[in-house]
Structure 1
Amino acid sequence: MKSKKRGMMYENGYGEIVDYWLEEDMRLRKKERRTRKKIYEQLRDEYNFPGSYRTVCDYIQRRKPQLKLEKEKRHEHLDHPPGEAQVDFGAMTVVKNGAYKDIDVLVLSFPCSNAGFAYPLPAQNTECFLEGLKQLFHQAGGVPTYLRMDNLSAAVVSIGKGDKRVYTDAFLAFQAHYGFEVQPCNPGRGNEKGNVEKKVDYTRNNFFVTAPLMENFKQLAAWLEEKMIQDRKRLHYEKELLIDELWEKEKTKLKALPLKEYPIFTVDKAVVNKYGEITIDKEKVLIPHAPIKQTLIIKKEWNQFSCITSDGEIIYKGPRPYMNEARPIPWEFLFH
């Protein structure tokens, strides 16, 4: 008989999140993978993990070899009815203004036809995730009947098996507007969304191995959409038909897009400090003409934020801090 594993990593679902991150990192180059410290800090900041760094390290040390073994043994075949989709983020790199920029690409795949759609975003927060889903639904021309997803912090508040998951209010409102059902992956069963994981790798290897040039997100989204359209003109890996032909049939099973456009934003509050700054995305941002110690309403969209007074006056609007993040290209290393 198998003994029940105890401890907050197993009983409270935190281990499932770490498993997902470890499996995700296995697909990345070693230098791009999360360190144990980074995993602990992300777990603490995004999921309010109450445990210690040592607890996380011990869990990772035990689980890493187990996950590798489980990955080798996964042979279960899953049926994929038409109209059902899977979604996941993938980390990619582009070149903007002569520097590397790390972005996240949200990938939507339909396993029945193997059709894929991708949309570039600056982060994996709630606003980016929902904006990306909205754009992908429009690219697909409809809404999936079921959407299989993992425990993305952009949508999940707390973890549990199946229906025990608690989703954010923003995600639930989005789901209600578009009318799709969610199929959460079970713990340690990455093969349940294996199609989109392969699609993320395929997108990275075919379109981002040589980092493409990026002018802005609008230009990059249009470029990537065209690449994904052209990619559907190849044969399905099993069915000996073009993916495009299979997709045309599968499209008829999608739900219709809502007539009304859904606005994507969240609302928060921030207090102006003595230097006239507020904190947004863990960065200090100067808000000109903002009264010290005044509480402002912050409207956050995927690419920008607005500061609103209690009287409803917009006193500042600017890009979110991560929009301008970049890292230099190591030219000396590349041409050595």
Structure 2
Amino acid sequence: MKTVLVDNQKAAVLKNHNGNVVFNAGFLQLAQHYGFQPRACRPRRARTKGKVERMVEYLKYNFFVPYTQFDSFAHVNQLLEQWLAEVADQRELRQFRQTPATRFEEAKGHLQALPATDFDTSYFDIRHVAWDGYIEVRGNRYSVPEAWCGRPVSIRITLDDELRIYGNEQLVATHRLNNRGAGWQTVPEHHAPLWQQVSMVEHRPLSAYEELL
């Protein structure tokens, strides 16, 4: 298994004290998904870090300056892929006298194969389904199958605003996330059993209750 050296940012490392490292649980899931062993840099020892800070600056002033407006994350990724292929990967690196594209071709043989599926980067949280079969997410309410009324469910929100609802690790509902204040979003099938229960309630004439007075 390959080892990946990371800085001590909270997204990866919760605590690093004298070599006793506590990694972020989400980062460990990422490491497991892609099949690598994480290793944290020594705090306050810059020489153990990878040379990545200059690349952040390069991206900031060479990609985000000409491209300042984006329609969506998909649009950003499309422009970034084009910029990498046509600009960033074609510049010559003075230290190596090669382009990144050339060096990548040489490094391909040492890389691990990617997993069959992408790592799930969705926002994660827990909700409690109300008695009426809805959960609240970002100011709106979304229906959940009636079997989950009064029970906890987990939610995941993707970058393209798809809301997925899970019960016992099983997908039970999906919705398109609405803008705040849009109101209620209902799938009729979720609450059909509730309406059936209402229709089965016995109806009595008012005279039956008058006899009790």
Does TM, scored on the shorter chain, surpass 0.5?
yes
Correspondence for 1:286 among 130, 140, 143: 140
Does 2:165 correspond to 1:307? yes
- Cα distance in 2 between the residues matched to 1:153 and 1:320: 30
Distance 1:277 1:300, change over 3 A: closer
**CA deviations over 1:101-139 (Å, ceiling 9, x no partner):** xxxxxxxxxxxxxxxxxxxxxxxxxxxxxxxxxxxxxxx
Q: Tell me the CA shift for residue 149 of structure 1.
A: 1.9
- Cα distance in 2 between the residues matched to 1:179 and 1:320: 36
Q: Return the index of the structure with the highest Cα Rg.
A: 2
Match of 1:79 in 2: none
Q: What SS does structure 2 have at the residue aligned with 1:227?
A: helix
- Cα distance in 2 between the residues matched to 1:200 and 1:186: 21
Distance 1:209 1:189, change over 3 A: farther
Match of 2:93 in 1: 236
**CA deviations over 1:220-254 (Å, ceiling 9, x no partner):** 11210221222121111212222322221122221
Q: Tell me the CA shift for residue 166 of structure 1.
A: 1.9
Unaligned runs of 5+ in 1: 1-143, 323-336
Distance 1:273 1:151, change over 3 A: farther
Q: Is the 8 A contact 1:178 1:257 kept in 2?
A: yes
Q: Is the 8 A contact 1:270 1:296 kept in 2?
A: yes
- Cα distance in 2 between the residues matched to 1:217 and 1:289: 27
**CA deviations over 1:64-121 (Å, ceiling 9, x no partner):** xxxxxxxxxxxxxxxxxxxxxxxxxxxxxxxxxxxxxxxxxxxxxxxxxxxxxxxxxx
Unaligned runs of 5+ in 2: 181-213
Does 2:113 correspond to 1:256? yes
**CA deviations over 1:275-294 (Å, ceiling 9, x no partner):** 96535xxxx33224468x83
Matches within 5 A, 1:59-138: none
Correspondence for 2:53 among 197, 201, 217: 197
- Cα distance in 2 between the residues matched to 1:197 and 1:286: 40
Q: What SS does structure 2 have at the residue aligned with 1:159?
A: strand
Q: Tell me the CA shift for residue 263 of structure 1.
A: 5.0
**CA deviations over 1:201-224 (Å, ceiling 9, x no partner):** 100010112443312211211210
Q: Is the 8 A contact 2:155 2:164 kept in 1?
A: yes
Tell me the percent identity.
Answer: 22
Correspondence for 1:317 among 167, 175, 186: 175
Q: Is the 8 A contact 2:2 2:37 kept in 1?
A: yes
Match of 1:15 in 2: none
- Cα distance in 1 between the residues matched to 2:178 and 2:49: 31
Matches within 5 A, 1:143-162: 145-156=2-13, 158-161=14-17
Correspondence for 1:177 among 26, 30, 33: 33
Q: Is the 8 A contact 2:127 2:153 kept in 1?
A: yes
C-alpha root-mean-square deviation of aligned residues, in Å?
3.7
TM-score by length of 2: 0.63
Q: Tell me the CA shift for residue 154 of structure 1.
A: 3.3
